[in-house]
Structures are given as C-alpha cells and as structure tokens.
Amino acid sequence: MTSRLRPLTAGFPAKITITQPDLSSRLLACSVGIRSVAFSERATRSLSPSRPIRSSHQSLMSNTQADETTSLLPTQSPKPDTVGDEEETMSSQLYWKVGAVFGATAVGFGAFGAHGLKNRISDPAKIASWTTAAHYQLAHSIALLIARQNPVAAGFFTAGMTMFSGSIYALILNPDLKFLGPVTPIGGLALIAGWLALAFTKGRVRF
C-alpha cells in the first residue's frame, strides 16, 4: 500500500515556504504607502484654506492698483463748447446792462433837451442836434438789448452811441471841445456797422 501512494505524492509540488525577509518588505511597503497617502491628504487640507486668503489678497491688490491708476488719470477739463457758452452768457449780460443804462440816460437827455437846455442855449440848431442825439441813443439802446447775444453788433452799437451821441452832448454843452468834431461821424459809421453786423455775422437775436 505504501508503494501505491508514492506516485500520488510525487506529483504534488514541493511545499512553498515564505521567507521572513519577503513578508517584512511587503509590510514595510504597505506602511510607507499608507503614510504617504495620509500625508498628501493632510497637506491638501492644510493648503485648501489659504486659497481664498490668497484670492482676497489679490483682489485687494487689484483694487489698490485701480485706485492708484484712477488717481493718476487727468481730471476732465470743461468742454470747449461749455466754456464758450459761459463767455457768451457773460457778454450777453454785460450788453444787457449797458443797453439798459444807455436807454435810461437817453430818456434823461431827451427830457433835459426839451426843458432845461432851452434856458441855457437859444440856438435852435443846437437844440435840434441835442434832440437827434437823444433819439439815436434811445433807438440804438433798444437795438443793443435785442442784439446782446451778437458780440460784433453789440460792440458796434455801444461804441457808436458813445461816440456819436456823446460827442454831440459834449460839443453843445462846451463848444471849446472842438477836437470832438471828427468823433461824431465816426460814431455814426459805427452805428451803421452794427446794423450790418446783424445782417452778415453769425449771432443770435432775442426779442
């Protein structure tokens, strides 16, 4: 019976034995792998909270740079059209006041020529010249009020009334001021130029 069993046992492989060094090396490799995974998870968790802090820091830096850039930008100056409108408004207001003053004085000079001047001067021609000067001054004062937004016409009207009517008043009250004689026709030409300026220059007329 012993001889029959020998062939059966002879076909099986020899007994496999695991040596101690192979088992310890495998355990060491497993422990190292577990520790590396745990370390990587801890590192990921420790680094994850710093992301929003870094992003907030970057946003703060970007806002600071934007503020500095905005402060370095030049301030916008008033537009040329706006500045021109302001100057036009100031000149219009000035000519409005000048026209009102000229109109008031024209009425006063006309009343003086009709009553008080006759007591000093008996020459009818001088009285007529005085009346003409007052009428021209009153008429062109109204024209100045209307054309106050046309600086060219308004300037000619102002200069014309000053030279034309003013020189006549001065010559009648004091005949010794003969040097004012040529000023009168120059003032008349300025009045004519004011009317021509209304026709050929760009400017607004307001009634």
Angstrom distances, CA of residue 22 to CA of 14, 18, 19, 25, 64:
19, 7, 6, 5, 63
**Phi/psi zone of residue 70: left (φ > 0), alpha (ψ -120 to 50 degrees), beta?**
alpha
pLDDT class of 36 with cuts at 50, 70, 90: low
Most confident of 78-82, 100-104, 112-116: 100-104
Q: Which amino acid is at 182?
A: P
Alpha helices in the chain (DSSP H): 2-11, 20-47, 50-72, 80-114, 124-146, 151-173, 183-200
Provide CB contacts within 8 A for 85, sequence distance 6+.
none
What does the pLDDT average to over 62-81?
A: 57
Residue ranges per structural domain of the chain: 85-200
The pLDDT of residue 47 is: 55
Query: How confident is the model over 43-64, as pLDDT tens digits?
Result: 566 555 544 444 555 555 666 5
Residue 30: pLDDT over 80: no
Alpha carbon of residue 62 to chain centroid: 29
* Residue entry with tokens 């000079």: 109
Q: What is the mean pLDDT of the chain?
A: 77
> Six-digit token pair at 28?
């060491």
Q: Are 184 and 168 in contact (CB under 8 A)?
A: yes
Query: How confident is the model over 115-153, as pLDDT tens digits?
Result: 889 888 889 999 999 999 999 999 999 999 999 999 999
The pLDDT of residue 85 is: 66
The pLDDT of residue 44 is: 61
Vertex 206 angle, CA 132 and 100, to 5°: 45
Query: How confident is the model over 165-179, as pLDDT tens digits?
Result: 999 999 999 999 999
The pLDDT of residue 131 is: 95
* Residue entry with tokens 């060491």: 28
pTM of the model: 0.58
DSSP-based three-state secondary structure for 107 = helix
The pLDDT of residue 23 is: 58
> Distance (Å, rounded) from C-alpha 130 to C-alpha 112?
9
The pLDDT of residue 53 is: 45
* Residue entry with tokens 């740079």: 65
> Six-digit token pair at 119?
């007591």
